[in-house]
Structure 1
């Protein structure tokens, strides 16, 4: 079994610096500071959404390469709703996969996304434990 360890250190006011198992670092800050233009980094909950998109996106790109289904551009938009009561958490999450290109191989792209959503993306599975999760695939032909 793989064990991951991260260390998170309070650096100032409402900011923490955290690392990942490979040693890279990022800054997290309080949601109350999100409007502060001098703050760089991520809010913890927004970072969860980025992790969801990144996990699935890495799966999809790897699968598309193996399937020889090239795209010119690929982006994922995640829209999430927080509960009103504390502790606030995402209870509804929509993941939209946008693909742009000429002569897109739609069947292969759909297969790659579905494999990520249903089989490979561990972050997606974690989100399913607490949120109503829906996905959509949108094609943009050039």
Structure 2
């Protein structure tokens, strides 16, 4: 896997993934794009959500939406690494069974999500879920 980051102007940079996708990052606070540290939270949310949706679909659950709320707490001193990350998965659907959601979230966070497994070596990563049942 490869990537490249190029300076645009100010504290704005464009990253290009090995698969050719571009994204802008901004080191200013507030900036005009996500900061690199915000991108880490987005990465753990994206990685784990892919797993959760895939597992729930394979379990034939009628999922209409998956959202993950992510909070990251950083150290006060430099380097300001994440010390705690909390993810709350909000699964919406019709008749979605809790046992399947619990299994999907646990499998993602404990086995499949490589971003989570990497970050838990440096931060306390916690997760939970809520189910929103549609009529």
Q: Tell whether the structures are fold-level matches, with TM greater than 0.5.
A: yes
Structure 1 alignment gaps of length 5 or more: none
1:29 aligns with 2:21: no
8 A Cα contact 1:69 1:109, kept in partner: no
How far has the Cα of 1:15 moved from its partner? 0.8
Structure 2 alignment gaps of length 5 or more: none
User: Counterparts of 2:28 and 2:128 in 1: how far apart (Å)?
Assistant: 28
TM-score between both structures, scaled by the size of structure 2: 0.94
User: Counterparts of 1:62 and 1:21 in 2: how far apart (Å)?
Assistant: 24
How far has the Cα of 1:102 moved from its partner? 2.5
Which of 48, 55, 59 is the aligned partner of 1:56?
A: 48
Q: Structure 1 runs of 4+ off > 4 angstroms?
A: none
TM-score between both structures, scaled by the size of structure 1: 0.89
1:103 aligns with 2:90: no
User: Counterparts of 1:78 and 1:33 in 2: how far apart (Å)?
Assistant: 19
Which of 8, 18, 29 is the aligned partner of 1:11?
A: 8
**Considering only aligned residues, what root-mean-square deviation do their CA atoms show, in Å?**
1.1
User: Counterparts of 1:32 and 1:119 in 2: how far apart (Å)?
Assistant: 34
How far has the Cα of 1:141 moved from its partner? 2.0
Q: Residue deviations 1:25-66, cap 9 Å, x none?
A: 0111114242xxxx2x21000000000000000011111111
Q: Which residue of 2 aligns with 1:71?
A: 63
User: Counterparts of 1:33 and 1:98 in 2: how far apart (Å)?
Assistant: 27
How far has the Cα of 1:7 moved from its partner? 0.8
Q: Which residue of 2 aligns with 1:130?
A: 122
